[in-house]
Amino acid sequence: MEAPSINKRNIGINFNGLGLAEILLWAPYANKVSIKLDMKTLSLIKQERGYWTLSTDEVKPGDTYWFDVDGKQLSDPASLFQSEGVHGPSLAFDLNAYKWTDAPWQNPPLEDYIFYELHTGTFTSIGTFKGIEDRLDYLVSLGITAIEIMPVAQFPGERNWGYDGVFPFAVQNSYGGPQSLQHLIDTCHNKGLAVVLDVVYNHIGPEGNYLHEFGPYFTDKYHTPWGSAINFDDAGCDEVRQYFIDNALMWFHDFHVDALRMDAVHAIKDFSPKHILQEISEQVVQLTQTTGRTYYLIAECDLNDTRFINPVNKGGFGLDAQWIDEFHHALRVAAGGERNGYYTDFNGIEDLALAYQNAYVYHGQYSEQRQKTFGTNTAGINGRQFVAFSQNHDQVGNRMLGERSGQLFGFEMQKLMAAAVMISPFLPLLFMGEERSEPNPFLFFVSHTDKRLIEAVRKGRKTEFADFHARGEAPDPQALETFERSKLSWDILEQQPYQTMLHYYKTLIGLRKHQPALKTLNRDNMTVETNAANNTLMIQRWTTDQQLICLLNFSGKDQPVAIPEGINQWQKLFDSAHPKWNGPVSSPEILNTGLIAIPPATILIYTQYHA
């Protein structure tokens, strides 16, 4: 067995430059393995450590095939295309056949990322990669620099959030398959958009999961909320680790993905001397050295532990950034959202100030909900390593009725929440549709075929909402109507107030991209002052060229704020309550020191440019 290559896929069926199919399957339990095509069966050769190989010209791109493992017919665990779904045969796909046109593309610095998270199936009416392509100009005009696509690994049926994927290498057939994804990414790059792909390395979904038939992909040492834990540190783990390393690298070198968003890394259990996340990050660094292209790894993690994003030479895993849910939680409570479930640990404006200052609200304090001291200190970590948002798929879709902010907050408060994200010293993320106050919900949906599993999902959803004291019945996740209701309504773009909100977001994003004090993510060049009684914040940010004050009023009435002294008069840069944004009143264009009354649910931004 040769050592795995860093810049090509090793596992599964891969076609080399001579047109030969190179087959590599890990099946350590097997005594005999063959590949079954329509008209022939070819035997694989057993190698060390449970691998089976074959190099042949009898397998062609487009052939459907099964592996026969000791008489059992199974799909390829590293299949690239399950054209007939999770229970069907695999289809041989040539990753090198696509003719890329993005050679000039350079992945932008992470601090320039403005994320737009979307779900392929509900972003457009047709629910495919082609549908996304047709709307890329809209995203470019909005000011987005990176689209973040929820998981595309093959899942059962045609409707799913994507976190039930069971073929990590296969691109969802109902979305268009692997070549369509390559074309989408190529098109994105030619329009100046980076592409982030959501991947799931903490569990494999239940229906269509046949990995256990091949080898010890799972371990009983640990458990996750979603099923068996992936085996990253038990017997046989070396090959399992290589399987997922191969997967991460494939998205970069074969699909030209720019960054991976790694789902719920806190649920990855690994007590190896080198954590799997560190090993993946080190391999990605090597790939960058080989290709000359830059790639990023972004974690979803609820542990408030900087080890995930600290560099390896400082004892970390070397990931580039992470989502910060606590900014979202504190923001929503400050905006008047309900305090139940996990929101009970947040008090609003004071915790929002902590989130601006520390990224984590809990960075070493006692958490009542967790009943323990929680979090680590973030001093010295640049703002580009944190992703902030007022909505995302989880926070919307895990509500029983999938309500977006447009259904939960008034128009003025929605504008304030959007601006609160954009003025942060972190990377901003939008969830599809929020930029126009999308009225349709984003619900939880599946399309399983196993009736027992369908009932288990329904029951699980009901149990999940107990902590939130939700009343009534959750929409049926299995129903087609639940999925259809979750699609964006593109026909509202010319209607009010949606059109005004869209222009508001465009202006906000433009400020973020072009104002030096907002664009520079130096967390040290920022102060935050809180008035808990008035529910107001004053945030000052600065560079050598510019000073900004951002005045945020989360209360329901006018509130006075004292304006700090400066070397010049303060000039108004942005006013969310201005009538052009359907607001009630315009605040003064020029300020001196003294008091200003901020309208309710409003943000005012004033600036001074240094000579």
pLDDT tens sequence across 124-144: 999 999 999 999 999 999 999
Q: Does 592 or 110 have the greater pLDDT score?
A: 110
What is the rounded CA–CA span in Å between residue 498 and residue 501? 5
pLDDT of residue 458: 82
pLDDT at residue 560, as a whole number? 96
Domains of the chain: 12-91 (2.60.40.10), 113-202+249-510 (3.20.20.80), 526-609 (2.60.40.1180)
| DSSP 8-state class, residue 519 | H
**Mean pLDDT along residues 543-562:** 96
pLDDT of residue 36: 98
CA atoms within 13 A on the CB side of 525: 20
Peptide bond into 600 cis (omega under 30): no
The pLDDT of residue 234: 96
Task: Compute the distance between CA of residue 283 and CA of residue 286 in angstroms, rounded to an integer.
Answer: 5
Local confidence band at 341 (pLDDT 50, 70, 90 cut-offs): confident
Q: How far apart are CA 4 and CA 17, in angstroms?
A: 18
The pLDDT tens digits of the residues spanning 459-499 come to 877 776 665 556 678 899 999 999 999 999 999 999 999 99
104, pLDDT greater than 80: yes
Cβ-in-10-Å burial (0-12, 13-18, 19+) of 37 comes to middle
> Catalytic positions, please?
263, 300
Instruction: For residue 69, list its beta bridge partners.
Output: 33, 72
**pLDDT value at residue 1:** 63
pLDDT score recorded for residue 413: 98
Segment 44-73, tens digit of pLDDT: 999 999 999 999 999 999 999 999 999 999
Instruction: Give burial (CB, 10 Å; 0-12/13-18/19+) of 220.
Output: exposed
What's residue 5's pLDDT? 82
On whether the CB atoms of residues 297 and 281 are closer than 8 A, the answer is: yes
For residue 464, the model assigns a pLDDT of: 67
- Cα–Cα nearest to 86, from 69, 101, 74, 68: 74
The model's pLDDT over 507-538, given as tens digits with 9 standing for 90+, comes to 999 999 999 999 999 999 999 999 999 999 99
Confidence of residue 95 (pLDDT cuts 50, 70, 90): very high
Other beta carbons within 10 angstroms of residue 238's beta carbon come to 12
303 by Cβ neighbours in 10 Å (0-12 / 13-18 / 19+) ranks as middle
Alpha helices in 71-219 (DSSP H): 120-123, 129-133, 136-142, 177-190
At 368-424, the pLDDT tens digits run 999 999 999 999 999 999 999 999 999 999 899 999 999 999 999 999 999 999 999
Residue 419 to residue 576: CA distance in whole angstroms: 8
Token representation of residue 136: 């890329």
pLDDT given for residue 567 in this prediction: 73
CA 570 to chain centre: 38
Give residue 129's pLDDT: 98
| Share of residues in the chain with pLDDT > 90 (%) | 90
